[in-house]
Amino acid sequence: MRQIIIIIITVIFSIGEETLLAQQNDFIKEYLERFENSRKYLLEVANAMPEEKFNFRPTKESLSFAENLMHIGYAMDWHAQSLLGERESRDWNTDTRYKVANKTKKEIIEVVNETYLETIIFIEQFDIAQFEQELEYFGLSRTKRQIFLLLADHITHHRGQILVHLRLNGLVPPRYVLYQ
């Protein structure tokens, strides 16, 4: 009798675990769809700004259009590769990949696109069993699943800023499409 109860409990827990893993796999699939749409839209927005306006900043305290793009790339790299992937973080003071200096519009867009593609590969290979692991995030405790959401929010935040840069230059941003 005791063996039957143990078998029943084991089956119940394994069904629950399979359901949870399926939901987490669905999260990754849905996240990747959204992330790819975000990549395409950000590239459209970046291409909409003329190169001579890439250094435009609405106020002296603001990031320029180009700096916002490179900040998106740097933060994407840091969230995925360093925070979630545990690779040593790039040193902002010495690493030149995400520095605007002497980069053309084309080069900046290439860096951001490459970072998106690297991040997509990272996400595709991410071990969903790590979702519940907690990390320190600017003084707060956050799960790795929450870091995925924070990354998407951060991109949206800065993309919103550069949409304003376009408007302030008399340009109409590319049409927003749902699920970005």
pLDDT value at residue 145 = 96
First to last CA, the chain: 54
pLDDT value at residue 20 = 43
**For 93, which DSSP code?**
T
pLDDT value at residue 9 = 66
pTM equals 0.85
Q: Binding site for a divalent metal cation, residues?
A: 71, 154, 158
Please enumerate in sequence order all residues whose Cβ is within 8 A of that of 154, keeping only pairs 6 or more positions apart, or say none.
Answer: 72, 75, 76, 79
Q: Binding site, residues?
A: 71, 154, 158
Cα–Cα dist 156/42, whole Å: 9
pLDDT value at residue 92 = 86
pLDDT value at residue 25 = 78
pLDDT value at residue 14 = 60
Across the chain, which has 180 residues, the per-10-residue mean pLDDT values are 68 55 75 96 98 97 98 97 93 93 97 98 96 95 96 97 98 83
Nearest to 31 by CA among 109, 158, 146: 146
Residue pair 165/48 in contact (Cβ under 8 Å)? The answer is: no
Q: Domain 34-168, what fold?
A: Four Helix Bundle (Hemerythrin (Met), subunit A) (1.20.120)
pLDDT value at residue 86 = 85
pLDDT value at residue 177 = 78
pLDDT value at residue 22 = 46
pLDDT value at residue 147 = 96
pLDDT value at residue 154 = 97
